[in-house]
């Protein structure tokens, strides 16, 4: 295998190290879809015409896109392996960079030997938070497009809509979850923490730094009560008060929101945001315009804020002032083989990844990397049963992107990523926070984290 960063990490020493350290995302009802169905066996157009070409995660790397497959430079020509994905894409909420980056990775694999000579034919679909539309897309992918796996799902409500269907047809989904069923059902596992556990991490960080009150705000989309329950449990365990808010998106009153949150948090408190990058940016820029950024002790954000787009837009005034939960490794200045491969794939194949370097593109990369690893382990026909079985056998897999080894497993629920970084802006980039920014277990004060660890254990730190 030519991919540069694989490995198993379950050792007694690693488990001890991980435990010791831990003791340290306006909805439309439209039924339209902008999905495309295309084979990705040929390389995409040059990244010179793509915004993604500005990626700077590993500027002088030695790893090229030839490292993503087993036969560098040899295009796969066998029978395609059909893989699908469903992402939310609507005003105020766009997760399509996840499936777009997964598609870029698969295109790279196809151009370098494929899966044992078979190209991956990718069917990425988008939806607008319409249950009937989402259910129809799932059935279309299975019955019309004949997918044998789902790799890249990321949607506000897709997991809740399709959980029973995926179980009925035997598909195990590998995605980036949002709603509760992405983490509490047997047929879906995510590479990310989702908005609840990521918000847990953001709240946990500012509490560790001394914030004595939390103002927590998020998009007014389905699932807000479920999401807020985690941060509230984490704050309650520390005896700190937390006040919850929701906002309709797209945001139209950023000044009023920023003022409200700063007033609620107070001078020794923290404002914690759970929004997609464009919406969070509106609130943060409003705070700066009103000279409110220093009126609270900390600003924090769940994972979606971890994108160079936001750091660049905010500028140096926010250096070391905003702290973002990062579910995947910080890439700016990172020259690891994994970061170099990410950068190479983004530049060569990522013309559709509009956000460039960021958590969403990292999630897509990681999903495709794990999915490719699972597919390569199959020795017989590529069927739904074979693909699902291969995913369930993924255990303590070191992607190079996650704090922990990744395990899918045959569990009744799945929260395999529950250890995070914290990053902060640094002149237009996000870097690991100098205080407490390293890999840290999400608090088991969230009862769902505690329940998952009770059945699956605590995965060791990767590396």
226 and 308, same domain (yes or no): yes
- 442 in a structural domain: no
Give the range among 67-71, 82-86, 146-150, 354-358 with minimum mean pLDDT: 354-358
> Per DSSP, which regions of 75-143 are E strands?
81-90, 93-94, 120-127
Of 354, 381, 401, the last residue of a domain is: 401
**CA 126 and chain centroid, separation:** 17
Q: 3-class SS at 212?
A: coil
What is the residue whose two structure tokens read 């195990």? Answer: 172
**Cβ atoms 463, 337 nearer than 8 A:** no
Among 56, 5, 39, which Cα is nearest to 347's?
Answer: 56
220 and 339, same domain (yes or no): no
161 and 62, same domain (yes or no): yes
CATH of the domain at 319: 3.40.50.2300
Confidence band (pLDDT; 50, 70, 90) for 38?
very low
CA dihedral 33, 35, 37, 39 (to 10 degrees): 180
Cα angle: 278, vertex 425, 281; to 5 degrees: 15
**Cβ atoms 99, 154 nearer than 8 A:** yes
Task: Give backbone dihedrals phi and psi of 299, rounded to 5 degrees, phi first.
Answer: -115, 140
Q: What is the DSSP letter of 237?
A: H
- 30 in a structural domain: no
| 91-135 confidence digits (pLDDT tens) | 988 999 999 999 999 999 999 999 999 999 999 999 999 999 999
Distance CA 264, CA 219 (A): 18
265 and 181, same domain (yes or no): no
Confidence band (pLDDT; 50, 70, 90) for 333?
confident
- 1 in a structural domain: no
Beta-sheet pairing, 120-127 with 149-153: unpaired
126 and 179, same domain (yes or no): yes
293 and 339, same domain (yes or no): no
Beta-sheet pairing, 419-426 with 440-441: antiparallel
Q: 3-class SS at 234?
A: helix
Residues 6+ apart with CB under 8 A from 239: none
Give the range among 171-175, 328-332, 440-444 with minimum mean pLDDT: 328-332
397 and 292, same domain (yes or no): no
- 426 in a structural domain: no
DSSP symbols for 351-418: TT-TT-SBHHHHHHHHHHHHHHHHHHT--S---HHHHHHHHHT--SB--SSSSB-B---S-SS-----
pTM for this entry: 0.84
User: How many Cβ atoms from other residues are within 10 Å of residue 186's Cβ?
Assistant: 16
- 311 in a structural domain: yes
Beta-sheet pairing, 81-90 with 93-94: antiparallel
What integer pLDDT is reported at residue 460 of this predicted model? 84
Residues 6+ apart with CB under 8 A from 419: 18, 21, 22, 402, 403, 404, 439, 440, 441, 442, 459, 461
What range defines the domain where residue 259 resides?
A: 195-326
Confidence band (pLDDT; 50, 70, 90) for 337?
very high
What integer pLDDT is reported at residue 3 of this predicted model? 54
């Amino acid at each position: 295998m030519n991919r540069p960063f694989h490995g198993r990490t379950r050792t007694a020493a690693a488990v001890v190290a991980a435990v010791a350290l831990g003791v340290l995302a306006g909805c439309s009802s439209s039924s339209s879809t902008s999905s495309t169905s295309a084979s990705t066996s040929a390389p995409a157009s040059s990244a010179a015409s793509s915004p993604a070409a500005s990626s700077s995660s590993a500027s002088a790397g030695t790893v090229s896109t030839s490292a993503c497959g087993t036969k560098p430079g040899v295009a796969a020509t066998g029978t395609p392996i059909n893989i699908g994905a469903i992402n939310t894409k609507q005003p105020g909420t766009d997760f399509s960079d996840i499936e777009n980056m997964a598609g870029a990775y698969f295109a790279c694999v196809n151009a370098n030997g494929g899966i044992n000579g078979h190209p991956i034919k990718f069917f990425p679909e988008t939806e607008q938070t319409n249950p009937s539309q989402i259910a129809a897309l799932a059935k279309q992918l299975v019955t019309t497009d004949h997918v044998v796996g789902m790799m890249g799902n990321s949607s506000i409500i897709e997991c809740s809509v399709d959980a029973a269907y995926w179980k009925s047809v035997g598909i195990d989904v590998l995605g980036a979850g949002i709603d509760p069923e992405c983490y509490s059902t047997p047929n879906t596992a995510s590479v990310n923490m989702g908005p609840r556990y990521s918000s847990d991490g953001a709240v946990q960080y500012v509490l560790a730094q001394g914030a004595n009150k939390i103002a927590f705000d998020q998009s007014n989309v389905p699932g807000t009560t479920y999401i807020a329950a985690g941060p509230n449990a984490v704050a309650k365990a520390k005896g700190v008060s937390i006040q919850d808010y929701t906002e309709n998106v797209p945001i139209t009153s950023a000044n009023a929101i920023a003022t409200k949150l700063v007033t609620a948090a107070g001078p020794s408190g923290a404002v914690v945001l759970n929004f997609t990058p464009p919406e969070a940016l509106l609130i943060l820029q409003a705070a700066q315009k009103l000279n409110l950024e220093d009126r609270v002790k900390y600003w924090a954000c769940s994972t979606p804020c971890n994108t160079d787009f936001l750091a660049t837009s905010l500028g140096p005034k926010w250096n070391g002032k905003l702290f973002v939960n990062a579910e995947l490794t910080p890439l700016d200045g990172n020259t690891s083989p994994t970061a170099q491969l990410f950068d190479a794939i983004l530049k060569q194949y990522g013309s559709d990844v509009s956000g460039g370097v960021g958590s969403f593109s990292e999630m897509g990369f990681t999903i495709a990397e794990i999915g490719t690893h699972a597919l390569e382990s199959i020795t017989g026909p590529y069927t739904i049963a074979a693909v699902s079985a291969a995913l369930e056998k993924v255990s303590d897999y070191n992607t190079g992107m996650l704090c922990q080894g990744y395990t899918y497993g045959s569990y009744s629920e799945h929260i395999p990523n529950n250890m995070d970084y914290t990053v902060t802006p640094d002149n237009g980039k996000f870097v690991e926070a100098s205080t407490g920014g390293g890999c840290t277990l999400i608090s088991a004060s969230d009862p769902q984290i505690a329940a998952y660890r009770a059945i699956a254990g605590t995965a060791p730190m990767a590396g």
